[in-house]
Amino acid sequence: MIPAFLRPLWAFVFRDFHLTRRYFSWVVVFTFYALVSSATIALIGVAAGDERLTLTLVLGVLLWSFLSAMFQEISNSISYERWEGALEYTFMAPVHRLTHLLGVSLFAVAYSVVRTIVIMVGLLFFVHLSFAGANLWGVLVASVAFMGLGLVAAILPVLSPENGAQATNIVQGVLLLVSGIYYPVEVLPAWVQPLSAFSPATYALAAARKLMGLDRPLSEAGTLAGAPLGAVTHELLVLALMGAVLVPLGLWIFGLVELWAKRTGKLKRTG
Amino acid sequence: MRTIEVHDLQKTFSSRQGWFGARKVERALDGVSFHVDEGETYALLGPNGSGKSTLIRILATLLLPDGGRVRVLGRPLPGGEAEVRRRIGRVSVDAAFYKKLSARENLLYAAQFYGIEPTAAGKKALGILERLGLEPRRFHDPLEEMSRGMQQKIAIARALLHDPPLLLLDESTTGLDPASKREVQRFLEELRAERGTTILLTTHDMDEAERLAARIGFLARGRLVAEGEADELKQEAGAADLEEAFIRRTGEGFAPAAAGEAV
Ligand SMILES: Nc1ncnc2c1ncn2[C@@H]1O[C@H](COP(=O)(O)OP(=O)(O)OP(=O)(O)O)[C@@H](O)[C@H]1O
Ligand SMILES: [Mg+2]
């Protein structure tokens, strides 16, 4: 039983759930592809015979699979609606834009978590993973900041139906490059490095590596020596701050773009 | 009370071809003033591109007017969007649905925006659809498997789920077979009689306008060129039927004005 004030929020989860169900073959295809590419990356560590490298790559693969799935779901939500021809209908519905975007984000997080778990389980068939000693709890803290980024990116398809969807892919690519998913950001060329400071994923990864003990050699017993949550307060603070800025900023810009679209007639199906 | 009040409404669209192309300006609404009383049915007739859908979109909070005053259900637009959205139902020409979702899923999704409980929404939707002649077994079919007319019926059901006091119907019977069309018309008449629903509709079907609407407005090139009861319109234009009156009123000055403005 859903309380009445939550029902509009639930409407978006309901819709996205059923859409995912109907497009399930695509979900399977994308997840399969993500799993295979994750495995090929993880096997680089296995080939090098370096357990810490393997775990670092696996962590990168899983975190990126989570964050990119969430980013994609949110930033593409408007494109989907435009594509289906339902954008005008959504914008005419008596729901606050915050509720709308929260509903979309809520499903995106749930979907990304499930997908990441599937990929993680899948990876076990390719590499032997031992997380003993790791502190797995702090790993998901980056999601809020990434949600904010997704919201900012969701605006682009409102601005321009085609170029907007293209631009979100560029943004995602840049995030993958600068966040140091599989390598320390220090190895990036000097002219790219400053950009990494603006990606929430950079801090999420840094924190996750510390929590899992991947930033230091393995213990004598060959297990990880994860740091306690207190060791990553800096990263958590930056992430919280980014979330606190990016989510309202995303909503605010979204509102501005919505007004612009209503002035210029860009909500129409054909744009 | 006036459910819709529009005064000197202006709307222009401008577009640019490419990045550096010349700006092209399209005047969609050029000083439209009219009103619709509570419980009244008003039909807007006009040739393609005369601004009917633009007007409906403004009333439905989907477009911002450039100038003029608009009040819907006592609320100004822009400003009263939240209240207006809760209390209007709109059917557009293009059925805006998630094509892979079933009729039921599409309707339940919409119902939740209005806080309607799913079981109640499902029952109500089925009732309306049966009334409009859609077989109940189609309720679970994906929209993409339905004909245009069936989709149109579902769009009508969606607009009515929350019992809106104002209905905005943009060519809502286009694409329906004659029997379904008549069923929709009968249904609208019933709504008006039982609930006092106010209806603003656009149509290219003269008989429909004459049958449903208390008053009719002719829109041409963004201007309301004539307004009144069907009989008045015929008389003023000295026409035998509404179609002839329509052609005379919306056709007059059409070609000459276009030639004049092109200079
Ligand atoms: N979103 C938009 N962007 C740019 N121009 C638009 C937009 N919507 C409408 N127009 C222009 O405004 C004018 C009026 O269009 P509108 O759709 O309101 O006409 P209509 O009376 O509904 O026509 P029809 O009978 O074909 O449905 C047209 O010249 C159209 O090209
Ligand atoms: Mg139209």
Q: What is the 3-state secondary structure (H, E, C) of A76-117?
A: HHHHHHHHHCCHHHHHHCCCCHHHHHHHHHHHHHHHHHHHHH
- Please compute the mean of the pLDDT values over residues A91-104 and round it to a whole number: 88
**Higher pLDDT pick, B55 / A148:** B55
CB contact under 8 A, B115 and A7: yes
Q: From the CA of B136, how far away is ligand 1's center (Å)?
A: 36
Mutation site for B-interface testing, chosen from A89, A162, A260 by largest number of B Cβ within 10 Å: A89
Residue A183, pLDDT above cutoff 50:
yes
Which pLDDT score, from 0 to 100, does residue A156 have? 61
Ligand 1 touching residue B50 (CB < 6 A): yes
User: DSSP assignment, residue B102?
Assistant: B
**Higher pLDDT pick, A7 / A228:** A7
Beta bridge partners of B43: B201, B216
CB contact under 8 A, A94 and B62: no
Tell whether B86 lies on the interface with A, counting CB pairs under 8 A: yes
The angle subtended at Cα A119 by Cα A118 and Cα A121, nearest 5°, is 65
Cis before residue B78, ω within 30 degrees of 0? yes
Which pLDDT score, from 0 to 100, does residue A142 have? 53
Q: Using an 8 Å CB-CB cutoff, list residues of chain A that contact chain B.
A: 4-5, 7-8, 10-11, 14-15, 18-19, 22-23, 84-89, 91-96, 259, 262-265, 267, 269
Q: From the CA of B183, how far away is ligand 2's center (Å)?
A: 22
- Please compute the mean of the pLDDT values over residues A153-163 and round it to a whole number: 62
Label residue A2 by pLDDT band (50, 70, 90). low
Ligand 1 touching residue B54 (CB < 6 A): yes
CB contact under 8 A, A92 and B92: no
CB contact under 8 A, A19 and B101: yes
Instruction: Among B53, B200, B201, name the best residue to mutate to test ligand 1's pocket (greatest count of ligand atoms within 8 A of Cβ).
Output: B53
The chain B residue lying nearest A86, using CA atoms, is B96
| Cα B51 from Cα B202, distance rounded (Å) | 10
Ligand 1 touching residue B163 (CB < 6 A): no
C-beta of residue A73 within 8 angstroms of C-beta of residue A111:
yes
Ligand 1 touching residue B13 (CB < 6 A): yes
ipTM over 0.90: no
Instruction: Among B23, B54, B171, B219, name the best residue to mutate to test ligand 1's pocket (greatest count of ligand atoms within 8 A of Cβ).
Output: B54
Q: Which of A14, A96, A267 sits opposite B109 (nearest CB)?
A: A14
End-to-end CA distance of chain A: 38
Find, among B221, B217, B219, B249, the residue nearest to B230 by Cα. B217
Which pLDDT score, from 0 to 100, does residue B254 have? 45
- The structure tokens listed for B192 are 């008006």
Tell whether B140 lies on the interface with A, counting CB pairs under 8 A: no
3-state secondary structure at position A132: coil
Would you call B125 exposed, middle or buried from its count of C-beta atoms within 10 A (0-12, 13-18, 19+)? Answer: buried
Q: What are the chain B neighbours of A11 within 8 Å (beta carbons)?
A: 109-110, 112-113
Question: How far lies B157's CA from each of B95, B104, B110, B127, in Å?
Answer: 12, 11, 10, 9
pTM recorded for the entire structure: 0.86
Residue A245, pLDDT above cutoff 70:
yes
Domain count, chain A: 1
C-beta of residue B80 within 8 angstroms of C-beta of residue B88:
no
CB contact under 8 A, A89 and B110: yes
Which pLDDT score, from 0 to 100, does residue A271 have? 37
Find, among A5, A253, A31, the residue nearest to A120 by Cα. A31
- pLDDT digits 0-9 by tens, A203-228: 888 888 888 788 777 776 667 777 77
| Cα B15 from Cα A98, distance rounded (Å) | 30
| Cα A105 from Cα B103, distance rounded (Å) | 25
Tokens 């950079």 -> residue: A202
Which pLDDT score, from 0 to 100, does residue A249 have? 82
CA of B63 vs chain A CAs: smallest distance (Å): 4
Cβ–Cβ pairs < 8 A, chains A and B: 83
Residue A20, pLDDT above cutoff 70:
yes
Which pLDDT score, from 0 to 100, does residue A129 have? 76
What are the CB-based long-range contacts (under 8 Å, 24+) for A35-42? A35/A118, A35/A119, A35/A122, A35/A123, A38/A62, A38/A65, A38/A119, A38/A122, A38/A123, A39/A122, A39/A123, A39/A126, A39/A127, A41/A182, A42/A123, A42/A126, A42/A127
Ligand 1 touching residue B52 (CB < 6 A): yes
pLDDT (tens place) for every residue of chain B, 263 residues total: 899 999 999 999 987 776 777 788 889 999 999 999 999 999 999 999 999 999 999 999 999 999 999 999 999 989 999 999 999 999 988 878 999 999 999 999 999 999 888 899 999 999 999 888 888 888 899 999 988 888 888 999 999 999 999 999 999 888 888 888 888 899 899 999 999 999 999 999 999 999 999 999 999 999 999 999 988 888 888 888 888 888 888 875 444 444 334 33
Which pLDDT score, from 0 to 100, does residue A149 have? 62
CB contact under 8 A, B85 and A267: no
Kindly tell me the sign of the dihedral angle through the C-alpha atoms of A81, A84, A88, A90: negative
Q: Atom 9 (ligand 1): residue with closest C-alpha?
A: B54
Tell whether B24 lies on the interface with A, counting CB pairs under 8 A: no
Label residue A82 by pLDDT band (50, 70, 90). confident
Which pLDDT score, from 0 to 100, does residue B261 have? 42
What lies within 8 Å, CB to CB, of B98 at 6+ separation is: A15, A19, A84, A86, B105, B106, B109, B143
Q: What are the chain B neighbours of A93 within 8 Å (beta carbons)?
A: 85, 110, 113
| Cα A249 from Cα A66, distance rounded (Å) | 22
Ligand 1 touching residue B24 (CB < 6 A): no
Find, among A27, A208, A18, A45, the residue nearest to A118 by Cα. A27
Kindly tell me the sign of the dihedral angle through the C-alpha atoms of B243, B248, B253, B255: positive
Q: Which of A18, A95, A264 sits opposite B113 (nearest CB)?
A: A95
Looking at all shown ligands, the one closest to residue B204's CA atom is 1
Q: What does pLDDT average to over chain B?
A: 88
Find, among B180, B166, B202, B152, the residue nearest to B71 by Cα. B166
Range of the domain at A218: 4-268
> What count of Cα atoms within 13 Å lies in the side-chain half-sphere of residue B212?
33
C-beta of residue B91 within 8 angstroms of C-beta of residue B97:
no
Which pLDDT score, from 0 to 100, does residue A41 have? 94
Q: What does pLDDT average to over chain A?
A: 82
Which pLDDT score, from 0 to 100, does residue A131 have? 67
Give the β-pairing of B2-16 and B23-37: antiparallel
The chain B residue lying nearest A3, using CA atoms, is B115
Label residue A44 by pLDDT band (50, 70, 90). very high
